[in-house]
Amino acid sequence: MPQLKPFRDYDEHDVINLFTLKDQSNVNKGTFVKLTSGQGWESTDEIFGDTQNAVGSTSYAARAVSNRYIVQAALDIAGSGNAPIGMTLYDLKETDENGEKLVFNPRKAAEMQAAISGQAVPVATRGVFLYSGATLASLPVDAGSILYATANGELHTDETGKKKVGVALGAKDSNNYVLIRIDCDPTQ
């Protein structure tokens, strides 16, 4: 799973806040995402609708409707060979560390830098980040290593069939974190 440390350098103009993650409920910040065909942003989208389940609970889904403000435009987690639009800056979560539903405690969600399903997830298209991921942690990485999007929204150093998203600005530290610079261009 990808992880981001608080050390970041990016411009708010390079952050997109118009999309949610489609059919997801637990995604870590640092996950690369792609545009979904037929799920893009439209100016006529309604901002009020039914969520996928009743306030995060599947036990009442057949008998209850949970109307709340949601984002219609959606992204998917980028896979190998996909051209990512960017990297998530917030986690996507339904509950906190104690199992309490975040939909009932928006302040706690904001403190955790977490979005709830249906809410917009900030996506950085460019910037410098301190990043770690399971795939990248198992590979040799040095300053100047080119980084490519791979399965599950993570990074890899092998370019075979993958899209370039950035470069490593240094080697991995003892905790497998790498300072990376990303510049996602989905048209490449």
What is this structure's pTM?
A: 0.85
Residues 180/169, Cβ–Cβ less than 8 Å: yes
Question: What is the chain's mean pLDDT, rounded?
Answer: 84
Q: Where are the domains of the chain?
A: 3-183
For the stretch 125-173, pLDDT in tens is 999 999 998 888 888 888 999 998 888 888 888 887 788 899 999 999 9
For the stretch 58-93, pLDDT in tens is 555 555 666 667 788 889 998 888 889 999 999 999
